[in-house]
A = this chain, B = another copy of it.
Amino acid sequence: MQNKRGYHHGSLKQALIDAALEILAEGGPAALTLTEAARRAGVSPAAPYRHFSGRDALISELARRGFETFGARIETAWDEGRPDAKSAMRAMCAAYLKFAQDEPGLYAAMFGQAQTLADPGAGGARYAALQIWSLAHGVAMLTISGHFDPVKSADPALLLDSAAQGVMERAAARAKA
């Protein structure tokens, strides 16, 4: 994973991003150091400053890309509510957890530290959507941090889906009343 394309000239910025994602996935936000990213990209510790204003800027860039990718996958999973709201919700929840598992680097960059970013394209931002988001975030964080391990009987995906259904049912009931 060390030598992708070029160091002395090629695409260093992308190489640094790739290295940073590797590091985040391996050791979390605390392990991400500009020097280590530079080392993996095969350049000097000062080189990254040609492409990023500093360590925080690198993490912000990762978070930005993370929200982009995340939003796209959630939207795809939701598929405008097809074939029905219940199934679409289930697919969206599964996609959320899958993202946290498949892209631990991006997820860590997105939620590892307090970032001041706009919300990830909620658009109309309905109440239920925010609830599901909170729920999914909580499940993902607690799963990643190992706080769910002691309770082996609880599968995170089922847990999330079940709770999400509850939120949806309530939202539907409110809409009727």
- Show the binding face of A for B, using Cβ within 8 Å: 28-30, 111, 113-119, 122, 125, 127, 130-131, 133-139, 141-142, 144-148, 150-151, 154, 159-160, 162-163, 165-171
Q: Which of B28, B113, B135 contacts A134 (CB 8 A)?
A: B135
List of B residues within 8 angstroms of A166 by Cβ:
131, 163, 166-171
> How many copies of this chain are found per oligomer?
2
User: Once the chains are docked, how many angstroms separate the CA of A137 from the CA of B148?
Assistant: 13
B154 touches A28 (CB 8 A): no
B113 touches A130 (CB 8 A): no
User: Once the chains are docked, how many angstroms separate the CA of A118 from the CA of B30?
Assistant: 22
Name the residue in A116, A133, A167 with the highest tally of chain B Cβ atoms < 10 Å from its Cβ: A167
A154 touches B127 (CB 8 A): yes
Q: Which of B130, B144, B162 contacts A148 (CB 8 A)?
A: B130
B28 touches A146 (CB 8 A): no
A134 touches B114 (CB 8 A): no
List of B residues within 8 angstroms of A139 by Cβ:
134, 138
Given the known inter-chain contacts A166-B169, A169-B166, please indicate yes or no for A134 contacting B160, CB distance below 8 A. yes
A122 touches B134 (CB 8 A): no
